Amino acid sequence: EDRRYEIFCNRNLKMSKITAVGFDMDYTLSDYIPETFETLAYEGAKKRLVKSLGYPEEVLSLPNYDSKRFVRGLVVDKKRGNIIKMDRHRYVKLACHGFRTLTKEERDELYNPSTISWESYGEPDFSVLDTLFSLPDAFLFSQLVEMKDSHPAKFPNSYMQIYADVRKSVD
């Protein structure tokens, strides 16, 4: 008997009274394809940005989500519009503004350990991409950073506000 596909409950439950069932999406109760879930979250977030938060219609025609672009463990610099990769000593080894990789000189200027303290790599200016479900946020944020830089009049919000809007639209 294969028990992998069974769900166990330690009490009786009248399903006739249940109107919705939710899942903690960490493979606890069901198998799913992460790329499909991430793409769904990404597409829904674009629609919400336009329909509910007043972003330009061009957002809807952004290129498709690339699930291979970002990995867990990266950090969003919400103030500067960057996605950064740090080592365990908080040295920034890689940084992208939108999708443009910053040079070593640019990284050193922005993230010099003598000017940024260890503690400052937290909220409110930074956010860690610590779950698989935050990856669509990073991708969409990077796309919007590029759009803001290319068309500042259409995107008057700060990078910080854009990130907050992305988070609001994904959740």
Query: 112-168 pLDDT, tens per residue?
Result: 877 666 566 667 888 888 777 788 899 999 999 999 999 999 898 999 999 999 999
Catalytic sites, residue numbers: 24, 26
Q: Mind giving me the DSSP string for 63-94?
A: PPP-TTS--TT-EEETTTTEEEEE-TT--EEE
Using a pLDDT cut of 70, give the percent of the chain over it: 84
Looking at per-residue pLDDT, the higher value among 5 and 147 belongs to 147
Global confidence as pTM? 0.79
Say yes or no to pLDDT of 46 above 70. Answer: yes
pLDDT at 106: 94
Contact 60, 50 (CB under 8 A): yes
C-alpha separations of 19 from 1, 14, 15, 16, 22 in Å: 31, 11, 8, 8, 10
Instruction: Calculate the alpha carbon distances from 92 to 65, 96, 160 in Å.
Output: 25, 11, 20
